[in-house]
Amino acid sequence: MPLRLRIIGLGIGLLSLVIVAGCGSSSSSSSSNTSTASTAKGAVAVDLGTTKAGQVLVGPNGRAVYLFEKDKGTTSACSGACAKAWPPLTTSAKPTAGTGVTASMLGITKRADGTEQVTYNGHPLYYFEGDKKSGTIAGQGLDAFGAEWYVVGASGSKVEKGEHGSGSKSDSSSSGDSSGSSSGGSSSGGSSGGSSY
């Protein structure tokens, strides 16, 4: 009789261990599934970074991203040599929004070569090869490949402060189109005047 009770007690003890072990592995696999589902593979994050133009959109590497005024809607007008100097911010999944970035403004457009480019407020986004580290905006206000390039604010509009080689333009950036017309006689003033950006 005592031996029989010991065997039953041992069986109950082993069964308890199996159940506890099973629950432990079940919960750990379920938490790993949750983290995998929440971050889509290949998705890029768009965040805000600090530059001399203020807080602007940056890609996952912390470098500023730009809009190109020649683009029509979400269709990119930058390919070939242009795309080498101004590499598009590409993704293979829906981009994610960092703090201060409006997730609903993020989107994707298909480029002529089939890659998917991140858009914000309808503007395809690009890096500038001249920006070697985060915080720099060497491409700000440049007129290259047929139009001007600007960093993008959290609102989804171009930011005109901190333009390359023009101190007076950065001071009057809040005045909208008047800053474009006071750009020191460069041909860039005409191309930005009637822009809807």
The torsion of the CA quartet 115, 119, 124, 125, rounded to 10 degrees, works out to -90
- Number of compact structural domains in the chain: 2
Same domain, 49 and 126: yes
Instruction: Please give the residue range of the domain that contains residue 24.
Output: 1-37
Helix (H) / strand (E) element for 53: namely: none
| Kind and range of the H or E run holding 109 | strand 106-110
Judge contact between 95 and 82, C-beta under 8 A. no
Q: What tens-digit pLDDT sequence spans the chain (197 residues)?
A: 555 545 555 455 544 443 434 444 333 333 333 222 334 677 899 999 999 999 999 999 999 999 999 999 999 999 999 999 999 999 999 999 999 999 999 999 999 999 999 999 999 999 999 999 999 999 999 999 999 999 999 999 999 987 655 433 333 333 333 333 333 333 333 333 333 33
56 and 134 fall within a common domain: yes
Is the CB of residue 59 less than 8 Å from the CB of residue 66?
no
Statement to judge: residues 23 and 82 lie in one domain: no
Residues 98 and 164 in one domain: yes
